[in-house]
Every structure is written in structure tokens, then in C-alpha cells.
Amino acid sequence: MSRFFRPGDIILTETGTSSSGGQSFVLPNNTTLINSSIWLSIGYTLAASQGASLAQREMAREGSRPDGRVILFEGDGSLQMTAQAISDIIRNRLDVVMFVLNNNGYTIERLIHGYDAGYNDIQPWRHLDAPRFFGAREDDPSYPVRTLRASNWGEMAAVLRDEEVVRGKGLVMVEVMMDMSDAPESLKKTIADVQRRNAGNRTVAEVETH
């Protein structure tokens, strides 16, 4: 994924598996990474992406920032918190490349507690219908709208080579299909350590430091 990024890009990673995976990004110079690392409020980055895109557009016009893309990594559960921001993105004709990680619910919460519990499930949405639902025109060359789906590595590689996706103009929405248990190994290890500590069992590393 890191090879997709370019200098000047603004990258937003949503709380959960998106922000955890984003910790391994290798970023080029003059790149901004935004996430909610303090309050961990899900849904923040979708709304924040419209502000980032608006700021990017205005600063590029005045020459205070190079022209770059706004790239968002959003979970399917988090998207349901602030989905109306997609309407604002379209209304303001903002440039956003949005990767929606569809792992069928709250994967990070499943890993912490209640893997099969109903409270970690969400109502499945037809994500790629969102631009049309929110009134995006399909025949407007001045504000192109693209929707794509990647269900395997080959399809994802093709998406990242797509000229319109790379250009990042208009609204690009990519649904990335993932397994319900798919999460960075570093996140799984951290959660396992927390669970052991909460249960009163220290990790080997903790024992060795005492």
C-alpha cells in the first residue's frame, strides 16, 4: 500500500484495524497522516476527510501546499456512524479516495471481547450504492465518481494501478472485502497481552523485566 502514496498526500486512517494497519505505512516526504489516536472515536475520519480535502484544495490554490490527494481508510462499522459525510463530499465536489474495509462488523471489538457476539455485528450495507443514493451524477466529467470492489490481492493490485484511482480526482470509493478475523498481527498480539494482563497473567516480557 505504501507504494501508492505520493508527496503531498493527506492520509486518514479510521480508529480500529485501519489505524492499526496504518502504523506500518512507509510515507514519502511532505505527507500528512491523520487519525483519532486520543479519543478513538469511530466515524471521525470520514467526516474529517471532507475538511482535509477542502483545506487541501484551498491551500493548493494559494500555493501554500503542493497539490496532493486525500486518501481515507474507513471501516464498515465506522462508516455507519457518519455516512452522511459522503453527501457533503459530493455536494462540495471534493476529491477523496476512500477505501472501505468491509470485514463484516467491528473486528477490533471482536478480538477484544465477544468474537461471535451480536453486539459486534452490523447491518450489511451496499456501500458502492452510496454515491448514487446521495445524489452523485454518473455523467459529470468535471466531477467523476468511481466505485470499485477488491475481493483478493489481484483485484486490489489492479485497483491501485487504475489511472483514475491514482489521479485521485472526484470521489473514488473502493470496497475492500476482508475476512471477519483479518487484522494486523501486531494488533492481535497487543490485544492478547491486554487480555492476559486484565486476567492477572503477565506476559513473558513483563516477567523478564521484574
| pLDDT tens for each residue of 165-180 | 999 999 999 999 999 8
Lowest mean pLDDT among 23-32, 73-82, 161-170, 198-207: 198-207
The pLDDT assigned to 201 comes to: 61
Domain assignment of residue 117, given as a range: 2-181
Looking at residue 82, the DSSP 8-state letter turns out to be S
d(CA 210, CA 204): 10
Residue with the three cell numbers 477523496: 96
CATH number at residue 88: 3.40.50.970
* C-alpha span between 31 and 5 (Å, rounded): 8
Give the range among 27-36, 112-121, 128-137, 192-201 with minimum mean pLDDT: 192-201
191 in a domain, yes or no? no
Query: Rounded CA gap, 2 and 73, in Å?
Result: 13
Query: Residue with C-alpha cell 494559494?
Result: 62
Q: Using alpha carbons only, how large is the chain's radius of gyration in Å? A: 18
| pLDDT at 191 exceeding the cut of 60 | yes
Question: Is residue 164 situated within a structural domain?
Answer: yes
CB atoms closer than 10 angstroms to residue 121: 15
CA-closest candidate to residue 169, choices 140, 135, 132: 140
Q: Are strands 32-34 and 10-13 parallel, antiparallel or unpaired?
A: parallel
The mean per-residue pLDDT over the stretch 137-145 comes to 92
- Predicted local confidence at residue 37, as pLDDT: 79
Q: Mean per-residue pLDDT for 95-105? A: 96
Question: Do the domain assignments include residue 96?
Answer: yes
Residue 163 is assigned to a structural domain of this protein? yes
Please give the pLDDT value at position 202.
62
Query: Is position 166 within any domain?
Result: yes
Going by C-alpha positions, the residue among 81, 57, 78, 80 that lies closest to residue 8 is: 57
d(CA 198, CA 210) in angstroms, rounded, equals 18
- Residue 190 placed within a domain: no
Residue 193 CB: number of other CB atoms within 10 A? 16
Q: What is the pLDDT of residues 40-91, one digit of tens each?
A: 889 999 999 999 999 999 999 999 888 899 999 999 999 999 999 999 999 9
pLDDT at 7 over 80: yes
Per-residue pLDDT at 17 exceeds 90: no
Residue 203 located in a structural domain: no
Domain count, the chain: 1
